Structure 1
């Protein structure tokens, strides 16, 4: 099963990804983890990403997409994967579709975790991270609405909307039911 997780920051994607990955026996592929792994291993892509990060810039789509493509070519992803953090834009979605099409593959579903902005703010403030204040959180939500939310329409034919305001176990059960697993 090839899946993408969508949802605003604080929707619980990372938590659900870990649980779903374990249940479905497919790797959870997070762009944050890919960046850290490539940088720590000193790969060419990691060095490129580090240059942008050190300059305080966003890592370009091309570098991120190349990291994702390398990861999808590993043996454990042959029978499926769960992408978290990629794609974030329509441009990235089109690159992913091209990568998969070259192998005769496609996404099975895109899971969209739906949660209200107030719940997101409450959850993120409760984490107690230094960079999580209400203004920062609301700015991140605005970036999500502008850049990533258009993917909801882009993927409407394979989209599964999941209410992400309950407890973790209920959200996981609802997701698995929607996937018919």
Structure 2
């Protein structure tokens, strides 16, 4: 069962990821689980975590959470909202990679080739980027974290599990056709960096399964003419990322399920439908959201 949330961990973030870096080369290759995966399969059985076991939280006590889910499922959106609600940093390794790509650092050209082919970035590179981010955050007084995009393999999870206690792993799920449409609809404002989505997803329910509607997240007028598409958001690359996720990352579900830390959440629609239900699954309250709804 997930531990009660707490600050800290076994060590400071600087020490934590210096240990990860030093240990990353000592672990054996990624453990394998014989696990056939079908993204079109019916929703999984209920999570091993009972949401009633999670304490209702009203404070901003630091947490140590991980968000799992296929590319494009919305990990960044919901992790960022929870980050603001709980007062802990949201650390997305995808953002760290893109920041490095836009820099003139020594990794930029190497990362560009990896990302444009839809491949996973190596453990060593990700750990290096995470280490720098956490050290910078610690210098600013940050504590706790919500990790998004790490770990992606059992090897990474073993490294992380060996040096810190993850309190909870939230696994977001969405139908494959919706995932593909979301990824292909993503847009970024080239001026302000805002993230938007032009896809209007409307999937009719069949054979007793519910329908799914996700409205587009359109930009304000001053950004509309400045939208660009990420270089890795092509149909070929997105499908390759989903394939790699199926082969390498979904076994993480069993890894964390066996440790009683996995909370599985099927997204019922867009943010208006999903956000309040996710809060209920986590036994959280968003007073600002309630006040907005009341207004």
Q: Say which SS state the counterpart of residue 88 (structure 2) adopts.
A: coil
Gaps of 5+ in 1: 101-105
After TM superposition, what 4+ stretches of structure 1 lie above 4 angstroms from structure 2?
36-42
Partner of 2:262: 159
Q: 230, 233, 237: which is aligned to 1:136?
A: 237
Count of aligned pairs: 170
RMSD: 2.5
* Bigger relative CO (Cα 8 Å, ≥ 6 apart): 1
Q: Please give the alpha-carbon distance, in whole angstroms, between the structure 1 residues aligned to 2:148 and 2:232.
A: 21
Q: Please give the alpha-carbon distance, in whole angstroms, between the structure 2 residues aligned to 1:134 and 1:40.
A: 23
Q: 52, 70, 73: which is aligned to 2:110?
A: 52
Q: CA-to-partner distance for each residue in 1:89-142, whole Å, 9 max, x for gaps?
A: 111111112232xxxxx1111111111111112222333636534333222211
> Higher helix fraction: Structure 1 or Structure 2?
1
Q: What is the CA distance between 1:40 and its match in structure 2?
A: 6.7
TM, length-normalised to structure 2: 0.51
Partner of 2:246: 145
Q: For 1:1-181, list aligned pairs within 5 A.
A: 1-37=63-99, 47=106, 49-50=107-108, 52-53=110-111, 56-57=113-114, 59-73=121-135, 74-75=137-138, 76-78=141-143, 80-100=144-164, 106-127=165-186, 129=229, 131-156=232-257, 157-181=260-284
Q: What is the CA distance between 1:20 and its match in structure 2?
A: 1.1
Conservation of the 8 A alpha-carbon contact between 1:12 and 1:164: no
Gaps of 5+ in 2: 1-62, 115-119, 188-228, 285-295
* Larger Rg over CA atoms: 2
TM, length-normalised to structure 1: 0.80
- Please say which of residues 122-131 and 167-176 is displaced more in the overlay: 122-131
Q: Say which SS state the counterpart of residue 163 (structure 2) adopts.
A: helix
